[in-house]
């Protein structure tokens, strides 16, 4: 059973058809939309400010979502994938984005719809990423536009696939 804990009297709110790994942690002011998956060792720590997750979002193994006290919030749109060991600290990610493995998004970053943030990229505080763009590096810089093929075969497929992967864990019920 996942660790789902109240903080300051506020408990996480979880939508319909959500799969949460047994060792994931959700604390405080966390809202999860419908058809989401929260994977092994992921931590969503809504103790100092809200974390709001849209529909069909997958937060993969080891990812950490947190904020700065009274200075930032985590807001994630629909059809978003947050890769293994990524850190989202007080950032806003709009719809249909993919955040690569090990990427770090710092406070008050805005990732516009259709973006891909490459593995291990570092997006500095206050950066606004252009929509439908690929960002990579330390610090992250725009490297190219997202093609229609990438949007379909990487961003949208990954969001769908993680719902399917979670269903495999329910086979033993």
* Model confidence pLDDT, tens digit, residues 67-106: 999 899 999 999 999 999 999 999 999 999 999 999 999 9
Model's pTM, two decimal places? 0.96
Give pLDDT tens digits for 8-31: 999 999 999 999 999 999 999 999
Domains and CATH numbers, the chain: 3-168 (2.160.10.10)
Quickly list H helices, 31-172.
148-150, 157-168
pLDDT at 171: 63
């Amino acid at each position: 059973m996942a660790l789902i804990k109240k903080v300051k009297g506020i408990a996480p709110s979880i939508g319909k058809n959500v799969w949460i790994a047994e060792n994931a942690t959700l604390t405080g002011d966390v809202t999860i939309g419908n058809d989401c998956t929260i994977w092994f060792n992921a931590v969503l720590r809504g103790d100092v400010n809200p974390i709001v997750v849209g529909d069909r979002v997958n937060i993969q193994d080891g990812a950490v979502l947190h904020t700065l006290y009274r200075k930032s919030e985590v807001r994630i749109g629909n059809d978003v994938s947050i890769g293994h060991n990524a850190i989202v600290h007080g950032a806003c990610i709009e719809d249909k984005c993919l955040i690569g493995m090990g990427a770090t998004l710092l406070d008050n970053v805005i990732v516009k719809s259709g973006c891909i943030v490459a593995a291990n990229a570092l997006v500095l505080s206050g950066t606004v990423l252009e929509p439908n763009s690929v960002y990579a590096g330390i610090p992250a810089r725009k490297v190219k536009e997202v093609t229609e093929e990438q949007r379909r075969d990487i961003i949208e497929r990954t969001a769908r696939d993680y719902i399917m992967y979670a269903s495999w864990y329910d086979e033993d019920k």
